[in-house]
Amino acid sequence: MIFIAGASGFVGSHLLDFLNEKGMALRCLARAGKAREKLLRKGAEVVAGDITRPETLKGVLNSDDIVIHLAGIIEEKSGATFQAVHVEGTRSLIAEAQRAGIRHFFYQSALGADKNSWSGYLRTKAEAEEIVKQGGIPFTIFRPSLIIGPWDGFTRKLVDMIRLSPVIPIPGEGNALFQPLYIKDWLWCMEKVLESPGSFASTYELGGPEHLKYREIVRKLADALGTDKPLVTIPMGLMKLSVGLFSKFMLRLPVTADQLRLLQQDNICDIDSVSRHFGFTPVKLQDAYQEFISS
Ligand SMILES: NC(=O)c1ccc[n+]([C@@H]2O[C@H](COP(=O)([O-])OP(=O)(O)OC[C@H]3O[C@@H](n4cnc5c(N)ncnc54)[C@H](OP(=O)(O)O)[C@@H]3O)[C@@H](O)[C@H]2O)c1
């Protein structure tokens, strides 16, 4: 049986549909409320649990399970910290996996995960990876770049901004490089792992077939939306000031100061990262946008 933590999120929902179509036996972890309802509507078996509350994980796994751990946060809010979710949450899930003696543990980390990173997100992803590696269970770790598709949080926010704003603001110069990967390509990588977990017992950086500047990604998205609104660079200092000012008045901009800083930092891997390990060439960003936005 495949057990998914984080099945109600963007990546998890696509994975659930993909595996459902293949008729695979699935069990999903969900916190109470909306996530649970969403998964039940998709016909999944749901067990209640929260990875930050180890007592809720007792007995959720069985010895023949493959665990796919996608649960994570991109922003600290409502009391959920990177440390609690990524580090302690992963520790608790690994502890339950050890108790049950599961077959294989998949962990979704992130490209750029680094124990010495200034970014709490990337630092705790690296710490979680270490917990998985030390867990004594056969594992696979993915470190994906931005995963895009209907409807990841990054693209959704950009689309709202492009539609609402008379010009398209680009924080800083927008020259940092990214390597977006289409969700369908991520799914095909995941499928290979599930077909033969033992052949993928390692850590894999995953990215699309292009290194693109942030401003190029935004331009391609605007083109897919059929708008020729101009890109306007906003000095990073001004953007950070706005985030600070807004938060002082208890208002939230769609980005945090840390996310702005991440937009200034290259986040890429080898251009052939997917073809080398998974044997196919992922689609270009423009083609992905064409498929899920323009068509
Ligand atoms: N999307 C990307 O571009 C990207 C790139 C690299 C890595 N990743 C990683 O891939 C994973 C999935 O990303 P995503 O875009 O699908 O994120 P997402 O849409 O925000 O989904 C996150 C999932 O984690 C669950 N979750 C969060 N805290 C939890 C907790 N304490 N206990 C149990 N479940 C919890 C959420 O459940 P609720 O529905 O209950 O909130 C949701 O199902 C994350 O680990 C993310 O860091 C994503």
Query: Does any domain span residue 198?
Result: no
**CB-defined site of ligand 1, < 6 Å:** 5-6, 8-12, 29, 31, 35, 50-52, 70-73, 85, 89, 108, 110, 144, 146-147, 152
Altogether, the residues listed in the chain come to a count of 295
Query: Does any domain span residue 121?
Result: yes
Query: Does any domain span residue 271?
Result: no
DSSP 3-state of 239: helix
The Å distance, Cα 167 to ligand 1 centre, comes to 31
How does strand 139-144 pair with strand 177-178? unpaired
Taking residues 186-212, what's their average pLDDT? 98
Query: Does any domain span residue 266?
Result: no
Q: Is the peptide bond before 151 cis (omega within 30 degrees of 0)?
A: yes
Query: Does any domain span residue 210?
Result: no
Return all residues near 27 (Cβ < 8 A) that are at least 6 apart: 1, 2, 3, 4, 44, 45, 46, 47, 60, 65
Taking residues 160-173, what's their average pLDDT? 92
Average pLDDT, the chain: 94
The Å distance, Cα 272 to ligand 1 centre, comes to 26
Q: For residue 181, what are the β-bridge partners?
A: 147
Query: Does any domain span residue 63?
Result: yes
* Dihedral sign for Cα atoms in the order 49, 30, 44, 108: negative
Domain span at 6: 2-144
- Six-digit token pair at 238? 């001004």
Query: Does any domain span residue 60?
Result: yes
pLDDT tens readout for residues 72-130: 999 999 999 999 999 999 999 999 999 999 999 999 999 999 999 999 999 999 999 99
By alpha-carbon position, which residue is closest to atom 37 of ligand 1? 6
Q: Which of 15, 53, 11 is nearest to 32 (CA)?
A: 53
pLDDT tens readout for residues 30-69: 997 899 999 999 999 999 999 999 999 999 999 999 999 9
Query: Does any domain span residue 30?
Result: yes
Number of domains in the chain: 1
**What pLDDT does residue 248 have?**
60
pLDDT of 254 above 70: no
DSSP 3-state of 28: strand
pLDDT band at 247 (very low <50, low <70, confident <90, very high): low
The number of angstroms, rounded, from the C-alpha of 120 to the middle of its chain's C-alpha atoms is: 15
CATH value at residue 37: 3.40.50.720
